[in-house]
């Protein structure tokens, strides 16, 4: 293994004992769980122990829930009733403190989840930008509602209000960005929150605990550590959670929402799994298609919900595509996250290489071949991406969301074949469509937009830019996330109405002049 640059070496054991409840950074004295990295610090391979985190349970979960409920105060709390401009100020304070932690967080992203240095930096910077964009968008939303409308003799002052207590759970592949894409809009809209970091990418949250504590009133953000089953399940069982915000898989989302005794009260904001296909038509520009498919299938080793997880290539070009694509896969550079030009990096889940091997074995036993020379080669913490062809529907790699380095390829002669598969699929997030002829593309686009929520033309699937809607059909999502949509997903329209008469008009006039109400306000926030 290469020697590790000094600035990225792990020199201390991070004993994370602090957790945030009701504005207090408490010290944990119970059981802890060690946090490992699958990256070795020594010449002979050995996982690196990075630190430890509290292994919390029901009592702490209940304390966090009480704190969040207290801060919401049945709608009377300081936070939900605060003037928008003051909430924005708290968020500005938070993001300012967060920016100072960039190096620490980027380093932990690399060690905890094996994300490359440029991608880890991008995850951090994109999140900071997301927060600033959210602030601007909220100002705009507020400005647009700083008015009264009148219909049928009734005036209305309509705004968006918070929903209550939000339980926030993020995924390990974007432990900062995706978690914050839920948490930040939830907080800024006046909700109070309980947040538990993902199973990997936990320590990188700890440099932000103080920023959360000092930026928001007590109880607005509560941060717990431990297993979802031990911490999130008891919270849901109380029926006191108003919003379950989760990016992860539908199994955990379903298990959690089923714990809630009154499902009608629970709003869901979910970003779930997907099996996004690439469809390559016979006239596709192969150079561009191959580059986009490499990025789509293997960025961050395929551990993205938006990754291309199955490729459909037209019979006429399949041989050429497979040859060139497989060669490019084998040319990718594997190494540690800080290595220059690295594209494939260690897998954070120790069991992932064995799982990918199972998918390969199953596919090969059912007739698929590994098309690239290095496909399936094992390393201490990695398995080289195998390009499998021909893949059939009875194979596990076709049915399961692999979330790792393996690429199933099918060929087709009739476009109805991939379209039927997509219609039958449990997922409906995005598709990549490669081709040039507009007469072929047009009817396809018109169909595909109804099967998924984003059709990427001659481009790989992706979530960004974050101002665009991120959602999905079927088991892939519930509600929509984007800078703009997330503010809507975490709030509800609520308003003050009054009949047009002298008494009401005078009262409202006085209300506005006195500037006593934080809700009834026509102030423009610049």
Binding site residues, ligand G3H, CB under 6 A: 173-174, 178, 304-306, 462-464
Q: How far is CA 480 from the centre of its chain?
A: 12
C-alpha distances in angstroms, 232 versus 25, 52, 236, 249, 297?
Answer: 20, 20, 6, 15, 32
C-alpha distances in angstroms, 103 versus 99, 123, 470?
Answer: 9, 12, 28
Nearest approach in angstroms of CB 269 to ligand G3H is 13
C-alpha distances in angstroms, 60 versus 55, 66, 206, 296?
Answer: 10, 10, 17, 40
Nearest approach in angstroms of CB 460 to ligand G3H is 9
Determine contact, residues 318/369, Cβ cutoff 8 Å: no
Determine contact, residues 178/76, Cβ cutoff 8 Å: no
Nearest approach in angstroms of CB 417 to ligand G3H is 26
Nearest approach in angstroms of CB 525 to ligand G3H is 30
Nearer of residues 123 and 242 to ligand G3H, judged by Cβ:
123
Nearest approach in angstroms of CB 385 to ligand G3H is 17
Nearer of residues 75 and 464 to ligand G3H, judged by Cβ:
464
Determine contact, residues 360/406, Cβ cutoff 8 Å: yes
Beta strands 308-314 and 406-412 are parallel
Nearer of residues 326 and 489 to ligand G3H, judged by Cβ:
489
Residue with tokens 């907080």: 187
Nearer of residues 218 and 463 to ligand G3H, judged by Cβ:
463
C-alpha distances in angstroms, 158 versus 148, 267, 491?
Answer: 8, 21, 13
Nearest approach in angstroms of CB 461 to ligand G3H is 7
Nearest approach in angstroms of CB 178 to ligand G3H is 6
Q: What are the b/e assignments for 184-207, b being 16+ CB within 10 Å?
A: bbbbbbbbbbbbbbbbbbbbbbbb
Retrieve residue 243's tokens: 């919003």
Determine contact, residues 98/128, Cβ cutoff 8 Å: yes
Nearer of residues 289 and 460 to ligand G3H, judged by Cβ:
460
Nearest approach in angstroms of CB 464 to ligand G3H is 5
Determine contact, residues 214/92, Cβ cutoff 8 Å: no
Nearer of residues 54 and 277 to ligand G3H, judged by Cβ:
277
Nearest approach in angstroms of CB 173 to ligand G3H is 5
Nearer of residues 78 and 295 to ligand G3H, judged by Cβ:
295
Main-chain phi, psi angles of 212, to 5 degrees? -65, -45
Nearer of residues 251 and 323 to ligand G3H, judged by Cβ:
251
Nearer of residues 112 and 178 to ligand G3H, judged by Cβ:
178
At how many degrees (to 10) do helices 117-144 and 177-188 cross?
A: 20
Nearer of residues 173 and 491 to ligand G3H, judged by Cβ:
173
At how many degrees (to 10) do helices 84-99 and 177-188 cross?
A: 150
Nearest approach in angstroms of CB 176 to ligand G3H is 12
CA dist 159 and 470 (Å) reads: 24
Nearest approach in angstroms of CB 397 to ligand G3H is 19
Nearer of residues 5 and 464 to ligand G3H, judged by Cβ:
464
Q: Which ranges in 116-266 belong to alpha helices (H)?
A: 117-144, 177-188, 209-215, 228-237, 250-259
Q: Give the single-character DSSP code of 179.
A: H
């Amino acid at each position: 293994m290469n020697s590790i640059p000094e600035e990225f070496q792990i020199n201390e054991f991070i004993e994370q004992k602090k957790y945030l409840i009701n504005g207090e950074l408490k010290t944990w004295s119970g059981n802890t769980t060690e946090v490992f990295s699958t990256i070795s610090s020594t010449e002979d391979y050995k996982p690196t122990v990075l630190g430890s985190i509290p292994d919390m349970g029901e009592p702490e979960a209940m304390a966090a829930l009480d704190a969040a409920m207290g801060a919401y105060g049945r709608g009377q709390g300081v936070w939900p009733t605060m003037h928008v401009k003051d909430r924005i100020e708290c968020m500005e304070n938070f993001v300012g403190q967060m920016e100072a932690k960039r190096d620490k967080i980027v380093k932990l992203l690399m060690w905890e989840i094996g994300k490359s240095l440029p991608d880890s930096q991008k995850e951090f910077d994109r999140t900071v930008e997301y927060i600033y964009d959210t602030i601007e968008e909220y100002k705009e939303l507020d400005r647009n509602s700083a008015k009264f409308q009148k219909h049928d003799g009734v005036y209305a002052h309509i705004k968006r209000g918070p929903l209550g207590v939000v339980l926030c759970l993020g995924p390990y592949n974007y432990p900062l960005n995706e978690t914050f894409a839920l948490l930040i809009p939830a907080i800024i809209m006046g909700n109070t929150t309980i947040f538990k970091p993902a199973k990997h990418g936990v320590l990188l949250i700890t440099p932000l605990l103080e920023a959360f504590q000092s930026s928001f009133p007590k109880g607005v953000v509560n941060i717990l550590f431990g297993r979802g089953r031990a911490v999130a399940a008891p919270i849901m069982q109380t029926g006191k959670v108003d919003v379950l915000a989760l990016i992860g898989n539908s199994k955990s989302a379903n298990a959690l929402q089923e714990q809630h005794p009154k499902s009608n009260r629970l709003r869901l904001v979910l970003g779930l799994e997907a099996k996004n296909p690439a469809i390559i038509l016979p006239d596709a520009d192969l150079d561009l298609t191959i580059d986009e498919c490499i990025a789509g299938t293997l960025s961050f080793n395929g551990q993205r919900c938006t990754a291309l997880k199955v490729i459909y290539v037209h019979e006429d070009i399949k041989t050429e595509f497979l040859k060139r694509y497989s060669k490019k896969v084998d040319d990718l550079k594997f190494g540690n996250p800080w290595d220059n030009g690295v594209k494939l990096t260690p897998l954070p889940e120790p069991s992932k290489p064995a799982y990918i091997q199972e998918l390969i074995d199953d596919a090969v036993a059912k007739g698929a071949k590994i098309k690239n020379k290095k496909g399936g080669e094992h390393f201490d913490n990695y398995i080289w991406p195998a390009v499998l062809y021909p893949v059939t529907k009875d194979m596990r790699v076709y049915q399961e969301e692999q979330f790792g380095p393996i690429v199933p390829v099918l060929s087709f002669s009739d476009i109805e074949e991939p379209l039927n598969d997509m219609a039958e699929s449990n997922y409906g997030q995005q598709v990549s469509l490669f081709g040039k002829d507009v007469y072929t593309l047009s009817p396809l686009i018109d169909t595909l937009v109804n099967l998924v929520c984003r059709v990427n033309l001659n481009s790989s699937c992706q979530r960004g830019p974050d101002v665009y809607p991120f959602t999905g059909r079927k088991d892939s999502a519930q509600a929509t996330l984007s800078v703009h949509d997330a503010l809507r997903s975490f709030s509800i329209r609520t308003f003050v109405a009054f009949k047009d008469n002298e008494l009401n008009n005078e009262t409202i006039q006085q209300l506005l002049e006195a500037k006593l109400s934080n809700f009834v306000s026509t102030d423009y926030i610049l």
